[in-house]
Amino acid sequence: MERLAGRIMLLGGWRRSAVAFLAGAFAVLAQAPFDFFAACFVSFPVLVWLLDGISGEPGAGVLRRFSPAFGTGWWFGFGYFIAGLWWIGNAVLVDGEGFEWALPFAVIALPAVLAVFYGLAAVLARLLWTDDIGRIAATAFAFGVAEWLRATLFTGFPWNAIGYAAMPVPLLMQSVSMAGLFGMSVLAVFVFSMPALFAGRRHRTVGVVLAVALVAADLGYGFFCLSMPAPASAKSLRVRIVQPAIDQTEKWDKTVRDRIFKHLIDLTRSPPAKGASKPDVIVWPETAVPFLFTERPDALAKLGEILDKGQLLLTGAVRVEGGAGAAPRFYNSILAIDGSGEIVDAVDKLHLVPFGEYVPFQALLGRLGVDKLVELPGQFSAGSERHPIILPNGAGALPFICYEIIFPGEGGREAARSDLIVNVTNDAWFGNTPGPYQHFRQAEIRAVELGLPLIRAANNGISAVVDAHGRILDALAINAVGVLDVDFRLDRGGNPRVGTPSKNGFLIIILFGLAAAAMKLTSHRRFN
């Protein structure tokens, strides 16, 4: 291994960039749907060895001193994001002709921008670099900071954070309820990078002991949480999830709107299994209704006919405000419709998709001809607040629309007065690619983090019911058309907690930063 590490350290020029790119791309195998987390035990040691081989020019300016580290981290990130997000290009082509020009931006430019965060992580790690285990702590700390920045800046995009690679199954997901996603990212990078120590002689034993201890603690905590009896809940719910699998090329076609609505109605009133009772709550996916209810009162009347008294329909729909002289404002919303066909509650999407649901800097980019990449009734406005929707049994349903579910810590305050999560989405944009699987995995882990069961309705998969420990109770696959009837208790996750996951995650980042800084200081004294 010393010989291999030596060869990697000595790489330069395009060979260094190529190896960094391939190492990053290989790490994606640790994410869903592949879940080959051992890939990260190769990728991160390679990254550490590449950073070992960097030597800044003495006396050079800041940019020249740190550009090799930034470049190495950027190429690693570019490989990681281009291999992990290529499927976004599918959404650009769904609406057919007219958006092909945007394909390079979706497939190449977005990964290039996201890779900047990993480039900065490499620079930050090099600032605290030592020749021993300190550089492993520095790498973990730097990636924790980078993942937090990626989730926060410019509305944030924490998709495929490294921490998810360490949580492929419920047994390994439970620690996120203590450490949060950012803490899990730090710990995951620390463990994944540990094999880099085998290229030298310092701190091998310490590294192995620490890595084994962390993995054992993760497994032990997961086993303990999963084996604990769930706290008894007086509330239960019978839910029907409708997965219509509407073709995206037809979604906003005015000529087939009635057919789509009838398809949803037919699925909704299909009889339950023999001996089963009717559902309390029916959930349709994101923007399931292909028109504005304000323009179709007959549709609300029809829903009033098919829903029983006491039943509630939660549906994704476009909501409009304004008019009568004021410019209309469109919202991507979840509407609650009762048995009389009345809209009794609505929650609007807070995190809108840039270039999908709105155009940033529209005044400037609009003059350049840049528009949304998908066909929708208008440019959406962001909602102002998220609140639980009260269900017929008195339970509170915490709503998340589409990729809002991927933001760690989101809804943490409202979770305390909620009994379950409802996530509506439309992953049909991405076809049968890794995208829907990655999205679903992140939703599972959010259920564990918030300690609430999850109901997820997707237009074209993956619709599912997940318990508060991330275990899938039932699901519909991609491309399946049908309904999912599930009876389940609204048990909260009984995982022991100290503090909140997000605050604990920040504490872990700080502790690793302090440890790396202390080892850097000690290293200086040793050589002086």
User: How many angstroms separate the CA atoms of 516 and 528, rounded?
Assistant: 18
First-to-last CA distance in the chain? 30
Please confirm, yes or no, whether 349 is among the known catalytic residues: yes
Start-end of H helices in 38-109: 40-52, 62-85, 88-94, 103-104
How far from 494 is each of 160, 419, 443, 500, CA to CA, in Å?
Answer: 26, 13, 18, 14
How far from 499 is each of 415, 506, 514, CA to CA, in Å?
Answer: 14, 11, 21
Classify burial at 489, counting beta carbons within 10 Å of its beta carbon; exposed 0-12, middle 13-18, buried 19 or more: middle
Identified catalytic residue from 147, 225, 251, 349: 349
Residue with tokens 């921008």: 113
* Chain-centre distance for alpha carbon 120: 21
Listing from the earlier edge strand, what are the strands of the sheet with 396-401? 389-390, 396-401, 420-425, 454-458, 463-466, 472-476
SS3 22: helix
Q: Which residues contact 470 (CB under 8 A, 6 or more apart)?
A: 170, 173, 174, 444, 445, 447, 448
Amino acid at residue number 70: F
User: How many angstroms separate the CA atoms of 55 and 50, rounded?
Assistant: 11
User: How many angstroms separate the CA atoms of 134 and 190, rounded?
Assistant: 10
Q: Give the Cα-Cα-Cα angle 425, 426, 430 (nearest 5 degrees).
A: 130
Identified catalytic residue from 147, 402, 410, 449: 402
Neighbouring C-beta atoms of residue 54, cutoff 10 Å: 20
User: How many angstroms separate the CA atoms of 203 and 94, rounded?
Assistant: 52
Please confirm, yes or no, whether 402 is among the known catalytic residues: yes
Q: Which residues contact 211 (CB under 8 A, 6 or more apart)?
A: 190, 191, 194
Residue 443 tokens, joined? 């939703």
User: How many angstroms separate the CA atoms of 493 and 367, rounded?
Assistant: 50
Strand partners, 312: 281, 338
Helix/strand/coil (H, E, C) string of 371-428?
CCCCCCCCCECCCCCCCCEECCCCCEEEEEEHHHHHCCCCCHHHHCCCCEEEEEECHH
Q: Which helix (H) or strand (E) holds 304?
A: helix 297-306
**Residues tagged active-site:** 286, 349, 402
